[in-house]
Structure formats: C-alpha cells, structure tokens
Amino acid sequence: MDPVSRRLLKEWTDIQRDKNKNADILSLAPVDDDNLLAWRSVVRGPAGTGYEGGQFTLDIVVPTQYPIQPPEVKFSTTICHPNINFITGEICLDLLKTAWSPAWTLYSTVVAILLLLQAPEPSSPLNVDAANILRAGDMEGYTSLVRMYTLLLANKRST
C-alpha cells in the first residue's frame, strides 16, 4: 500500500473512532470505497452565526503528494462568505495554500473551515460584496445576508 493510502486510512480510522468530537461535522468520509483521494464532508453551520441551521457540503480532492501538498477543498453548497467564492465554492484560507503542513489532517482542515465561517477575514475576499459589508462595519447587514442565503440554499442536507 502506498504512503498516501496508508495515511488516509489512518485518518479515516481516527475519524470513525472520534465521531462525536465536533458536533458540527456531520460526516467526513471517502466518496466511495474505491477512491481514497475523493472525500466529502457535510458540516452544520456554527451556532450563533448566520449559518446556524444550514448544512453545507465540502468536496475534498486529495493530491497524490498528500500530506506534503494540501487537499483541494471547496464548498459544493452555495454559501455567502467573504472568503468563499459564491460561484465556485473556492475557499481562501492560508492553510490550504502557503500555511499547509503535513501535521494537518482532513479532519483538522474541516475544523479550520468551520472556524473561518465564524471569523471571516474581509481583507482577503473572494466575495467582495460580503467583504464590503463587513468592512463598512455593518455586522447586522452581513448576518442578515448570510442568513438569507443559508435559508434559501442550505436549509436541507445537500449531498
């Protein structure tokens, strides 16, 4: 078995063992048994945010150089967030690019994405409109916008 498959099987075993570690991660698993390089995660919108009550799907593509190279992670559920492209689901997060370390796992990466939902960074936006609302200091407007899109697009499990 190659080192990437070994690492991913270990991560999968750890995820199954610690299923209830983070209640906002509803699932994180390979898409099918024949391909360990394609994963999917369903996360719950964090409580106390405009995403609360929503369920969002993340598609994860693991490179053949994992864990040396980071996985490619993007939202397949449309989500309104300054650091997430509204159309493509691309995520602007340092750990998915320059701050990646082999110490990160797929699980810890999903946790970091959940933290990003709670603490957007409007200075490096992929969604300029959402970032501009935050930059203007209109937290109520931002939360209302996020809530509207969550209710419209993510109020059911999207797989």
pLDDT tens sequence across 92-129: 999 999 999 999 999 999 999 999 999 999 998 999 99
Packing angle of the helix pair 139-153, 128-135 (nearest 10 deg): 150
Write down the catalytic residue from 31, 92, 112, 145: 92
How many Cβ atoms sit within 10 Å of the Cβ of residue 157? 14
User: Pairing between strand 35-44 and 72-75?
Assistant: unpaired
DSSP 70: P
80 is catalytic: no
| DSSP classification of residue 78 | -
CB 38 within 8 A of CB 32: yes
Report, as an integer, the average pLDDT of 136-151.
Answer: 96
Which of 3.40.640.10, 3.10.110.10, 1.10.10.10, 2.60.40.1180 would CATH assign to domain 3-154?
Answer: 3.10.110.10
φ and ψ at residue 151, rounded to 5 degrees: -65, -40
> Is pLDDT of 81 > 50?
yes
Kindly tell me if the per-residue pLDDT of 151 is higher than 60.
yes
- pLDDT (tens digit per residue) in 66-75: 999 999 999 9
Is residue 77's pLDDT more than 90?
A: yes
Phi, psi values for residue 26, rounded to 5°: -80, -35
- Residue 157 in this model has a pLDDT that exceeds 60: no
